[in-house]
Amino acid sequence: MRIRILGCSGGIGAGSRTSAMLIDNDILLDAGTGIGDLALEDLKTIRHVFLTHAHLDHVAGLPMLVDSIFDENFEEPLTVYARCETLDAIKAHLFNDVIWPDFAKLPNERAPMLRYVECNPGDTVSINHRDFHAVDVTHSVPSLGYTVQNSGGVFAVSGDTRTNETLWPVLNAFEDLKVLVIEVSFPDEQEELATLAGHYCPSTMSRDLAHLAHDPDIWLTGMKPGEEERILGQVIAAVPDRKIRMLSRGTVIIV
């Protein structure tokens, strides 16, 4: 399983792209601004999108993706998997024939280009020997983390979250957890703001990380632009015994 990081920043700016990961060549995990750097031929191979939640930095690229790959003679629609609250939000506020066309009715309602599949906490979706398991996490809106398992092991993504008691038991249940991508948006100096916004800062993330029984490679994501080095330094100081790295656009992870 090949995971290519298209975007991992908590905001935009020169060189910064928001959350999007391309798994092999056919699945996106989140659809932030990072997908805009893909070539058209790469966009056309994507047929599945798993969303963590409905915030704009995780879904901003989705309307343009559907538009770019739209073909009245398509063979397979683009399927979006998310919890019911997320699907309701993007139907009401993105694909509503005001902000963007409703591709769930185009080219016709009987055979649309875009379809939705509810994927709620505890659900598992299997796509060509890759099992996506949805995990409830604690954010300011209903959100998911995901584990992705194949024969090589397990890749996990926390999604946006603050301190929670739901992610860690799921991760501990996998003996072959190889990689954990975890969001840490704010430095410790902004812990109160991070908690109110539903995000980790280094101190809160490190306390939760103590519950993890395994020792995977840990990649930090979602950091606010300009705060990356400060956050990374604070995390490493808080958990010096863990294998901590910072994600960057273009990183490729193999599981």
Higher pLDDT, 13 or 201: 201
- The closest of 66, 120, 56, 57 to 90, measured between CA atoms, is 56
**Structural domain for 116, as ranges:** 2-254
Residue 231 makes CB contacts below 8 A (sequence gap 6+) with 184, 186, 187, 201, 202, 220, 223, 224
Q: What CATH code is carried by the domain that includes residue 102? A: 3.60.15.10
Query: What is the structure's pLDDT at 59?
Result: 98
- Count of structural domains within the chain: 1
pLDDT digits (tens, 9 = 90+) for 80-138: 999 999 999 999 999 999 999 999 999 999 999 999 999 999 999 999 999 999 999 99
Q: Which of 51-60, 68-77, 154-163, 230-239 has the lowest mean pLDDT?
A: 68-77
- Summarize the confidence of residues 170-180 as an average pLDDT: 97
> How does DSSP assign 33-84, residue by residue?
GGGGGS-HHHHTT--EEE-S---HHHHTTHHHHHHHH--TT-SS-EEEEE-H
Mean pLDDT of the chain: 97
Residue 15's pLDDT is: 87
Nearest to 202 by CA among 182, 216, 174: 182
Query: With bands split at pLDDT 50, 70 and 90, how would you rate the model's confidence at 147?
Result: very high
In degrees, rounded to 5, the angle at the alpha carbon of residue 219 between the alpha carbons of residues 125 and 127 is 15
pLDDT band at residue 72 using 50, 70 and 90 as cut-offs: confident
How would residue 73 be classed by pLDDT, with cut points 50, 70 and 90?
Answer: confident
- Residue 185 and residue 202: Cα distance in Å, rounded? 9
Tens of pLDDT, residues 148-173: 999 999 999 999 999 999 999 999 99
Residue type, 140: S
Q: Tell me if the pTM is above 0.95.
A: yes
Instruction: Name the band, by pLDDT with cuts 50, 70 and 90, for residue 244.
Output: very high
